[in-house]
Amino acid sequence: MNTSRAQVFGAIAAIVAFALPAGDSGAQAVRQIPESRGDVLLSFAPVVKKAQPAVVNVYASRTEKRPRNPLFDDPIFRRFFGEDGNSHPGGPTAQSLGSGVLVDPSGLVVTNYHVVEGMTVVKVALSDKREFDAEIILRDQRTDLVVLKLKGGASFPVLDLGDSDAIDVGDIVLAIGNPFGVGQTVTQGIVSALARTQAGISSSGYFVQTDAAINPGNSGGALVDMRSKLVGINSAIYSQSGGSVGIGFAIPVNMVKVVLAAAKSGGQIRRPWLGASLQHVSRDIADSLGLDRPSGALVADVSSGGPAADAGLKRGDIITAIDGQNIDDPEGLGYRLATKPLGGNAGFALLRSGQPVKASVKLIPAPETPPRDPITLKGGSPFAGATAVNLSPAVIEELSVEGASEGVVIAEIEDGSPAATVNFKKGDIVLAVNDQKIRTTRDLERAASGRAAYWKLTIGRGGEVVTTMIGG
């Protein structure tokens, strides 16, 4: 063997040795130069065999309703065709294909919210070809995660949950899923980056980046480490062609644990509330404060009576770490808070006027004050089919509302309703209807109860205010 080949085998051996699972004692494998070609002919098959049975295919569908045909108002016509006129059996069907991961022997499956969004029928196929109907028991659009419960069966194979804070850039990982519907597929790569927060995928964006090939259909599938433990849920790719170009994103498993715990407890996800608005530290801000780099989360405002105010945080503070974990931006801070259990305190490291300061922040949920008082609008207004609730800190956190601390916000919109046709969005703030200021859901109910030749609407969306006119 010449020198160059020996160097190549040495490099490969170093990578493979680093990837090999530690024994039960946790001791790391010994790194050594290979002495023969057989020393480098290793395989990921043991990792795959352990993980693959817990990765499933998720099929979701929804039959679209066709508009009502006026001929069905004639009872003779209805009797002849045997239909009620509300829908047509031959209507188009919307379908979605993705992957999922079994995380509990009782049949709990974690997948992406966008895989089943708007779907009414969900089926899950296991690697052994068994198929089960599934019920959606928890949706969390904020993290793009959903928990399903398989109907029937027991003692399902599961994938053990790892620790996404324990992985490093360069670690070998495998992506398992159902790309393009061709069947379960395994791809291999490394952790390319951690704490990716600018991927533009979800409002709670904090991702593991990998070059393991992820394609359409892989969404909701498993990203596993070399110990066959789940470290992420594959969620999205960066691509201009629709196929993998080596930039994929996975939701860290530590966030999955929070959503799964909420599903098992049968309640809503309750996250710690900071009670402060944050913004990125720009280069200009960093330079003005004498910082060597633009990093951290700048406190832009503090809510009176919230945990941040009680802990003494002030406008202009820069949060640099929570419980010893560095904070690079507001999204990173949001992730760190969201993965902490309620109760107790978190230690914040701050910079105030360039000087280090420490604070202890209570980990409590956002309050439901005022009460939501949900109203589903009906009648002939543009809001018909929308459900509105009063704004509270809890609602602001849940819907990621920007630009308001009080008022009324749209929480749900029925498919095909006038509100959907007008293009209202979840999180829209209703500020005024026909120049009547809207402060509560009851105000909106009264303002939208009548009929009008036109509707003048003032809506807040994403921190901006728009006034528009819609015909009655």
Tell whether 51 and 30 lie within a shared domain.
no
Please report, in range form, the residues annotated as the binding site for substrate.
114, 144, 217-219
Residue 369 lies in a domain: no
Tokens of 331: 């999204």
The catalytic residue among 99, 219, 392, 417 is 219
Which domain range does residue 452 map to?
A: 375-471
Task: Indicate if 13 and 95 belong to the same structural domain.
Answer: no
144 catalytic residue (yes or no): yes
- Closest alpha carbon to 159 in 141, 181, 137, 174: 174
Three-class SS string for 12-48? HHHHHHHHCCCCCCCCCCCCCCCCCHHHHCCCCHHHH
CATH assignment of the domain containing 135: 2.40.10.120
4 is catalytic: no
Tokens representing residue 65 in the block: 């309703």
Query: Does the residue 368 lie in any domain?
Result: no
- Domain final position from 269, 289, 309: 269
Q: Which of 140, 144, 211, 428 is catalytic?
A: 144
Is residue 367 situated within a structural domain?
Answer: no
In the chain, pLDDT over 70 holds for what percent of residues? 81
- Helix count (H) and strand count (E) of the chain? 11, 25
Pick the range with the lowest mean pLDDT from 84-88, 202-206, 223-227, 371-375.
84-88
Same domain for 54 and 30? no
Decide if 439 is inside a domain.
Answer: yes
Q: Residue 37: what pLDDT? A: 65
Task: Report pLDDT digits (tens) over 378-415.
Answer: 988 999 999 999 999 999 888 888 778 888 999 999 98
- pLDDT confidence band for 367 (50 / 70 / 90): very high
Active site residue 219: yes
Q: Are residues 85 and 163 in the same domain?
A: yes
The total number of structural domains in the chain stands at 4
Using the 3D structure, point to which of 315, 340, 362 is the last residue of a domain.
362
* Among 244, 269, 294, residue at a domain's last position: 269
Query: Do 38 and 50 belong to one domain?
Result: no
Residues 215, 124 within the same domain: yes
Q: Do 356 and 454 fall into the same domain? A: no
Residue 120 CB partners (closer than 8 Å, separation 6+)? 61, 62, 63
